[in-house]
Structure formats: C-alpha cells, structure tokens
Amino acid sequence: MLADPRAETSRPRADRTLAEIRSEDLRVECLKCFRVVWLTRAEALQSYDPGSLWKEIAVRLLADGCMHRTGRHEEDGCWPDFRS
C-alpha cells in the first residue's frame, strides 16, 4: 500500500519539496500571532532551490519575528501551521 504512488499525496505538505508541490499559492500561518505569509510557487522557485523543503522555506518566511513576544528565547518566534 505504501509503495503505491498515490500514497505520496497523503504526506504532510510541510514535508514536500518545492518541486513536489503543485499548488500555485503557498501559504503559511503562525499559530501564535496568526500572521499569514504567502507567495506564489514561481516566486519561491526563483528564490529557493526546487529541492528545498516547504517546511524550511516557511520557517524562513516567518523568521523575521513573531508579533507576540514572551521574553523567553525558547518560546519566541512563530509557530508555523501547515494545515492549509
């Protein structure tokens, strides 16, 4: 069953490479501050390697800081939500 190529679509979107994603709009939201960052797939391919994981790209896009600061280094920063 897992060898079936159709099973690939059930993988979480965050674990896909940019080349594997077919959606034209890429969107990530912070679970803590609810900030939404989106870009088109074409823009992402111009800026990043097609083999880059969407999770890594999304973390970089949210890296400029979360709007909610706790003062603790471990808790600061955005928490990406890849469900959408």
- In a domain, residue 3? The reply is no
Distance CA 10, CA 70 (A): 35
Write out the residue range of the structural domain in which residue 14 sits. Answer: 10-81
Q: What is the DSSP string of 13-71?
A: GGGSBTTT---SEEEEEETTT--EEEEEHHHHHHHS-TTSBHHHHHHHHTTT--SS--S
- In a domain, residue 5? The reply is no
Q: Lowest-confidence range among 11-20, 24-33, 70-79?
A: 70-79
Q: How many domains would you assign to the chain?
A: 1
- In a domain, residue 1? The reply is no
Is the pLDDT assigned to residue 67 strictly greater than 80?
no
- In a domain, residue 2? The reply is no
- In a domain, residue 48? The reply is yes
- In a domain, residue 4? The reply is no
Q: Tell me if the pTM is above 0.85.
A: no
- In a domain, residue 16? The reply is yes
